[in-house]
Structure 1
Amino acid sequence: MKIAIFGATGRVGSIFMQHALDEGYEVQALIRKGRDVTPHENLTIIRGDVTNIEDVNQTIDGCDAVFSGLNTDGTTTLSQSIAHIIEVMENKKIDRIVTIGTAGIVESRVEPGKLRYLSSESRQRVKFAAGEHEKVYRALAESGLDWTIICPTALVSEPRVGVYRYEKDYLPLDGRRISIYDTADLAFEALREHLFTHKRVGIAY
């Protein structure tokens, strides 16, 4: 399998990419100028910008699946990029995509019909980032793609535990934190084993 990766230098994306390379997969990664990654014989680096559809097209070309670990960076990068990714994937007839979202976009347990970040469950005062992730979710849900969104609660840069809880479309009860390593592990398993089609998957300890 050849995987196109966006957000390969991010906290979760870099771990996911190392997984893929360690498992012998070929990777094409879009890397912004000024960012460095360790060379690998199975890694092809495309220098560019995810908001540029030509760079997205070049990154996805020849691949079998797509992974995105992009975050918002306080901008509309997520909503801009997902439109390009979906368009290119549909044009190239590539179906499978796994992305990293946020626990804010799973369903609320206390206010049915609302997403967590829009309900009383949310502790976030600033909702811009979750709103961008919701736009990604809505765009994927309206597409014809075979998508999965892994939705971690508060991400911590701690070693992997290897044991965690996950739930389709909800955050596990009382979930408070999750390592970037365990999040990447579940995302990689979802792509490799073709799990959780058309689902948001909350993950926490």
Structure 2
Amino acid sequence: MRILILGATGRVGGKIFDKALADGHEVTTLVRDTNKLAGIFSENAIILQGNACCEKDVQNVLRDVELVISCLGTDGGTVLTESMPLVIQEMKSQGIKRIVTVGTAGILQSREHPGLLRYESPDSRRSSIRAAEEHRKAWELLAASGLDWTVVCPTYLPDGEPLGTYRVERDYLPDGGMSISVGDTADFTYKEALARGFVGCRVGLAY
């Protein structure tokens, strides 16, 4: 399969990139600094320099792709809300249907406060909601897109290898969930992209 991975230089995206290559997929990525992936030696890896917020770069990188996995973060700015409309537009133009993104548990539904998202609830521990608002806007764009989307929403994300045992729940964080490793987040995101078990929803992810 021809897979585009955005955010392949990040913690989660890098592990997904490696998994997809190991499974024999043709993997394309768009990065601002190709030196960060200089250690990748595979005939199935296509590493293009560019910016996900540039329309021409997005058009180029999505050519002939069958699946999109985005692990882009907020990057301290508006990269999510700038890039997502471009990705959606070009996916539609090229007839690509499946996209999986990594968001944040803050945009899952609150159990204690029906009608609110977790980051909106009075007991939220977030000192800033800027990143959560960015992820929310990206999710809302996907929800209105008509694409086969899934937003994976991990809670606290420490480094760590995959254990392979974790809990998932549609639109909510698994009850009492406190953390999920980078390795297991990458593991679930990659598997879900191929398995399509949670199309059209957010997925809470925690131990």
The TM tier, using the shorter chain, reads: over 0.9
Asked whether the 8 Å contact 2:34–2:47 carries over to 1, the reply is no
Structure-2 separation of matches of 1:56 and 1:103: 27
* One-letter amino acid of the counterpart of residue 18, structure 2: Q
Higher mean Cα deviation, 28-37 or 174-183?
A: 28-37
- Could you say which residue in structure 2 is the equivalent of 1:164? 166
Asked whether the 8 Å contact 1:108–1:121 carries over to 2, the reply is no
Shift in Å at residue 33 of structure 1?
2.4
Shift in Å at residue 58 of structure 1?
1.0
3-state SS in 1 of match to 2:36: coil
Matches within 5 A, 1:16-55: 16-33=16-33, 35-37=35-37, 38-55=40-57
Alignment equivalent of 2:189, drawn from 182, 187, 190: 187
* One-letter amino acid of the counterpart of residue 42, structure 2: H
- Could you say which residue in structure 1 is the equivalent of 2:115? 113
Matches within 5 A, 1:1-205: 1-33=1-33, 35-37=35-37, 38-205=40-207
Shift in Å at residue 35 of structure 1?
4.0
Shift in Å at residue 176 of structure 1?
0.8
Asked whether the 8 Å contact 1:189–1:195 carries over to 2, the reply is no
3-state SS in 2 of match to 1:113: coil
TM-score w.r.t. the length of structure 2 is 0.97
* One-letter amino acid of the counterpart of residue 19, structure 2: H
3-state SS in 2 of match to 1:178: coil
Structure-1 separation of matches of 2:195 and 2:187: 12
Asked whether the 8 Å contact 1:151–1:200 carries over to 2, the reply is yes
Asked whether the 8 Å contact 1:190–1:196 carries over to 2, the reply is yes
Structure-2 separation of matches of 1:172 and 1:120: 19
Identity of aligned residues (%): 45
* One-letter amino acid of the counterpart of residue 194, structure 1: R
Shift in Å at residue 34 of structure 1?
5.4
3-state SS in 1 of match to 2:100: strand
User: How far does the alpha carbon of each residue in 1:5-55 deviate from its partner, in whole angstroms, 9 at most, with x for none?
Assistant: 110110100001111001111111001125421131100011001110111
Structure-2 separation of matches of 1:134 and 1:95: 21
Structure 1: gaps of 5 or more residues: none
Shift in Å at residue 57 of structure 1?
1.1
3-state SS in 2 of match to 1:29: strand
Structure 2: gaps of 5 or more residues: none
Structure-1 separation of matches of 2:185 and 2:136: 19
Structure-2 separation of matches of 1:59 and 1:91: 13
Structure-2 separation of matches of 1:57 and 1:140: 18
Structure-2 separation of matches of 1:160 and 1:204: 12
